[in-house]
Structure formats: structure tokens, C-alpha cells
Amino acid sequence: MNVWIAISLTTVGCYLAKLLGLLVPAGALERPLVQRLAALLPVALLAALTAQQTFGDGQQLVLDARAAGLAAAALALVLRAPFLVVVGAAVVVTAGVRALG
Amino acid sequence: MAEQTAPLQRAGEPADGSVITADAKPDAAVVRDALGVGIAVGLSGFAFGVTSAGSGLSLLQTCALSLLVFTGASQFALVGALAAGGNPYTAAAGAFFLGVRNSFYGLRLSQLLALPRAVRPFAAHWVIDETTAVTLPQPTRRAARIGFTVTGLTLYVLWNLTTLVGALGAEALGDTDAWGLDAASPAVFLALLAPMLKTTTQRVTAGLAVVLALGLLPVLPAGVPVLVSALAAPVVLFVMGRGMGPVPKDEKHAKDEKHAKDTKVAKVAKDTRTITSEDDR
């Protein structure tokens, strides 16, 4: 049940966020401060999520094969690899490290 | 790219026939760009399907997310938070905050696409990173509409199909961790994040968010540390205040600039494009 609550709230929230942009007259959300915040908010959230899903295990911090996978993804990004290759590199390296370990 | 320099207010005018210069872009080229992005990103729905099913969501729940939410980072964030034991409200709040950027994409897109009011509620569902990245640089309104529609349609169909396949396949794969699939979601986040780390402000924000997220992980309930980390954005903006140049707010001026990229939204979207399409060409 909890999962459906989360899905419903996310569905409604994300849809309204998308619709708002299309309906709101330009200018309302174009104030520089609002724009900067909107540009920075994903940076903070994505960085936090990346770190947590790489080094978190429940409420514990761990260093495991995922860190190697993420390093591979970072390397792929530096080499300007396409999206799928980046994700694939993380998966393959993580699996590889686990198989060896 | 040279074709991006065309003034946008000419878009859609009947003068198209007389302006077949460097400004014009063949429909086929637009479709090719759109398909490149749509297919590459659409296929990664597989990783979402596997991750979601591996996080304990049912097939129906997993597919509902891709069909109804349809904004990848929010979906990954939601299942990640739920898998970590977060309550549904903090999990949904984190996913929602990630979705807020789509509002700013919509602002730009509504001007470029000039959609009839009746169409907007339907088009809204496709207002995401990838459609924005493809649509913004198009030189004409016609090209923008084609880019938006083809990217949206391809991505929506593929993302949902591969979500289904991934969710079904998750059981067949058995222990998805052994396949390294738990690394897919942070890799997706990193790929979305990387192009946003251009300025010092952005890097400091990311660094502070990481410190907050990892530092608070052991002490706060699941899902809450990520929400607290979001505070890194206003905090850094406040502290570094005048570090970034002002964002032009006058649309007419922006249109006359060489690129539309001097607005923040356009910049973020363009950057997203570098990871999704440029390298595929």
C-alpha cells in the first residue's frame, strides 16, 4: 500500500510540475534567483542520490563493488561515451568485481 | 552547431520556402537526431525495470511508474528510496523535487512549440530532459515540433517496453546484485549529473550534497538525508551569491543572441544532450 501511495504522489507531483511549465506565462518562473535555484536543485539531488546509492546499504555506509562500477561510469563519461555505454560500464564492472571477489 | 543560430521568431512562418539556407534543417535530419536520443535512452528503461523489480516493486507498480511518472531520474530515486526503507512521503518528495526541473523545460518549450492550449495537457507528459535537449536547438518551429514529437514518442514507447522486459527479466536473472544491476541507478544519476558540473557553484553544491547525504545517512531515517541534501542548493547560492552572472530574463533578447543557451534551462538541457546524442552521430 505504501508503494502505491508513493507512486500516486510522485505521478501527480511530477505531472503537475511538467504541466506548470507549459501553462505558466513566461516570466513567472524566469526570475534569476528562481532559475538558479531550479538549475542547482537537480545538481544537489543527483549528487546526493549518486553517493547514497553507491556507498549506502540501508543506514550503513559501505565500500563495495558498486564503487568500482561508478568509477567505470565516471571514466566512460570522461571519454564522452554514450548514455548506454556509461550505464553498461557500471553494471559490467560491478558484476566483474563481485565475480572476482 | 551553425544551424542553431537562426532567430526563433521566424519559426513556422510561411517564408520557409524562401529561406532554404543554412538555417533550414531537413526533416529527416531532425528525425534522425530525435531517434538517436529516443532509442539510446529508451533502452535504459531495461535498467529501471530490473532495478525497480529488484527493489521489491511488483510488475504492475514498476510499469505504472514508467507509464505515469515518465521522468527517469524521479523513477530511480523513488524506487531507491523505497528499497532503502524510506516512507512513501519522503520517497515521493525526493522524486518530486527531481521532477521540478521539468517545469523550467516546459517554460522554454511552450514558447518554441506554441502548442494549442488543448494539446498542452497531453504534451506535458513528454516534457523531460531528452525531449527538451532535442527540441531547444532546432532552428524552426516545424523542426522543434518534429523533434519533440519523435523524441517523445520513441522514448515513451521504448522506455515502457524495456521497463516491462526488465521487470519480467529481473526474476529470471535471480540475484540482480550478482549481475551488477544495482550499479545501474547511480550510474544513471552520474550521467545526468556530469554535464551539470561546469561551474564552481555547481561543483561546490554537488560536493556539499554528497557530504550531507553520506554524513546524515546513518543518523536520519531513510529518504530524509537526500531531502536535506537538497538544501545544499539554496545554501551555496546564498553563500556564493554573486559568483554567477545574472541570468537574462528578457526572452526577446535571448532569442536574438547567437544561441538560446544563455538561459539556465537551455544550458542544462543542452548539456544533457551531450551525453545522449552528440556522441551517437
Report the residue of chain A nearest B244, measured CA to CA: A36
- Looking at residue A79, its pLDDT comes to 96
Residue B136, in any domain of the structure: yes
Give yes or no for B128 touching A (CB within 8 A). yes
Q: Is the pLDDT of residue B253 over 80?
A: no
Q: How far is B17 from chain A (nearest CA, A)?
A: 29
Q: Is the pLDDT of residue B188 over 60?
A: yes
Which has more pLDDT, A24 or A54? A54
Residue B59, in any domain of the structure: yes
Q: Say which range, A22-36, B53-67, B76-90, has the weakest mean pLDDT.
A: A22-36
Give yes or no for A79 touching B (CB within 8 A). no
Closest CB from A2, A17, A82 relative to B99: A17
- Looking at residue B252, its pLDDT comes to 38
Are B166 and B236 found together in one domain? no
- Looking at residue B123, its pLDDT comes to 96
Are B62 and B109 found together in one domain? yes
Judged by phi (left if over 0) then psi (alpha if -120 to 50, else beta), residue B6 lies in: beta
**Partners of residue A5 in chain B, C-beta under 8 Å:** 88-89, 92
Residue that is last in its domain, among B240, B257, B272: B240
Are B46 and B166 found together in one domain? yes
B249 touches A27 (CB < 8 A): yes
Are B201 and B176 found together in one domain? no
User: A50 Cβ partners below 8 Å, 6+ apart?
Assistant: A70, B186, B189, B190, B193, B210
Are B158 and B82 found together in one domain? yes
Residue that is last in its domain, among B155, B180, B205: B180
Give the tens place of pLDDT for each residue, A42-88.
899 899 999 999 999 888 999 999 999 999 999 999 999 988 899 89
- Looking at residue A17, its pLDDT comes to 94
Are B116 and B79 found together in one domain? yes
Q: Is the dihedral of CA B187, B191, B196, B198 positive or negative?
A: positive
Which has more pLDDT, B174 or B5? B174
- Looking at residue B23, its pLDDT comes to 62
Question: pLDDT confidence of B137, banded at 50, 70, 90?
Answer: confident
Residue B61, in any domain of the structure: yes
- Looking at residue B39, its pLDDT comes to 87
Are B149 and B203 found together in one domain? no
Report the residue of chain A nearest B175, measured CA to CA: A95
Share of residues in chain B with pLDDT > 70 (%)? 78
Residue B185, in any domain of the structure: no
Are B111 and B214 found together in one domain? no
- Looking at residue B242, its pLDDT comes to 56
CB contact under 8 A, B89 and A9: yes
Give the tens place of pLDDT for each residue, A7-20.
999 999 999 999 99
Q: Say which range, B57-71, B76-90, B261-275, has the weakest mean pLDDT.
A: B261-275
Residue B267, in any domain of the structure: no
**Partners of residue B97 in chain A, C-beta under 8 Å:** 41, 45
Q: What average pLDDT does this structure show over B164-179? A: 87
Q: What average pLDDT does this structure show over B177-199? A: 88
Are B39 and B113 found together in one domain? yes
Question: pLDDT confidence of B130, banded at 50, 70, 90?
Answer: confident
Q: How far is B98 from chain A (nearest CA, A)?
A: 6
Q: Is the pLDDT of residue A37 over 70?
A: yes
Give yes or no for A33 touching B (CB within 8 A). yes
Q: What average pLDDT does this structure show over B3-9? A: 37
The total number of structural domains that make up chain B: 2
State the complex-level ipTM. Answer: 0.90
Residue B89, in any domain of the structure: yes
CB contact under 8 A, A18 and B78: no
Residue B251, in any domain of the structure: no
Are B173 and B217 found together in one domain? no
Residue B269, in any domain of the structure: no
Are B218 and B83 found together in one domain? no
- Looking at residue B134, its pLDDT comes to 87
Name the pTM for this structure: 0.74
Residue ranges making up the domain that contains B149: 27-180
Are B96 and B229 found together in one domain? no
